[in-house]
Amino acid sequence: MMEGMGMLAWILLLVSALCGQDFTDLRIEKLAGNFRFTDGPVWSKEGFLLFSDVPNNRVVKWTPGIGLQTYRENSAGASGHAFDAQGRLISCETRNRRLVRKTKDGWEVLADRFEGKRLNAPNDVVVRRDGHIYFTDPAFGEQLDRRELDFFGVYHISPKGELEVIAKPKGRPNGVALSPNGRILYVSNSDERAVYAYDLDGAGRASQERLLLTGIDGPPAGIRTDEKGNLWVACNQLAVYSSQGKLLKTIELAETPRNCAFGDADFQTLYVTAMTSVYRVRLNVKGAIPY
C-alpha cells in the first residue's frame, strides 16, 4: 500500500528568492502514497514523523532509515497533533470529539466538553513552550449533524488545565500555529478563506483579534511558521506569506496540500500531507521550533 524509500518520486520546481533565501533549486520528494486522506503531520525531537491516515482510523510513523510503521490503530479519527515540551503527544480525536494527551498508561482527556456540552470535533492543535495549548473545534460533514454547541470554537487550555474559548468565528476554524516567539496565535478559517491573528500575553490569554490574510486560493487548512515569522499555509497550493500578510510565493504540488510541519534534526525540512500522499521539501530556512 505504501511506497518505500526506494520508490521516491522527485519533482523539481524552480522558484525565485524568498525573503533573502535562495530557493532556486527546490525539490519536493514524495515519501509515500495510496492513503485515503492524510493530515496532522508533526515531528518528534526523538527523530520521527507522525501523521494521520484519518479515514483508515490510524496514525502512521515514518522514521529515516526505517520507513513507515503504524503508530496507533483505532485512533478515534485522530486529525491534528502536537508535542509538548516534555515530548508528550497531544491529539485531536474527531470521532470521540475530544483533545487527548498520551501517557504511560494510555490517553488522558484534556478537553471534551465546554459548559457541559460536547465539543464538535477538535481538528488541529499547537502547544507553546510554557505549556499553553491552543486548538480549533470546527465540524465538517456528518460532524455537523451531531453538534451540541451552537458555535465553532478556538480554545485555550492553561498549564493548570483551565479551558476557555478564545473565539467563536462565523466560519469554521481549521489550522493553528504560533509565531516564533509564541506571542501571536494564527488560526486559519476554511469558510472565510482567511487567517486570523491574536496577541498572546505571558499568561496565554488572547486579545486583539485581527484579520491577517484574506482571499486565499482555496480553503486554508494547516499552517506553520518559519524562524523568520513567515506563514506556510496549506490551501490549493502551499502559499507562503510574510508576517505582515504579503504573499511571497506559491508552491504547486501534485496533490492539494492539507497540512504541513517542519522537521528533521535541523528543522529545515517541510513535511506536507497532501490528500492521499505525504511529501517533503528541503529548505534553507528553519521552522519555528515549538518545543
Distances from the Cα of 223 to the Cα of 34, 167, 220, angstroms: 23, 18, 8
- pLDDT tops 90 at residue 13: no
Confidence of residue 5 (pLDDT cuts 50, 70, 90): very low
Determine how many CB atoms are found less than 10 A away from the CB of residue 94. Answer: 27
Query: What confidence score (pLDDT) does residue 289 get?
Result: 85
CATH (residue range 5-282): 2.120.10.30
Distances from the Cα of 212 to the Cα of 49, 173, 215, angstroms: 30, 14, 11
Query: What confidence score (pLDDT) does residue 290 get?
Result: 74
Give the pLDDT mean for 246-252.
94
pTM here? Answer: 0.92
Query: What confidence score (pLDDT) does residue 244 get?
Result: 96
Q: For the ranges 11-20, 92-101, 113-122, 271-280, which has the lowest average pLDDT?
A: 11-20
Give the pLDDT mean for 132-147.
94
Task: Identify which of 263, 253, 266 has the alpha carbon closest to the alpha carbon of residue 42.
Answer: 263
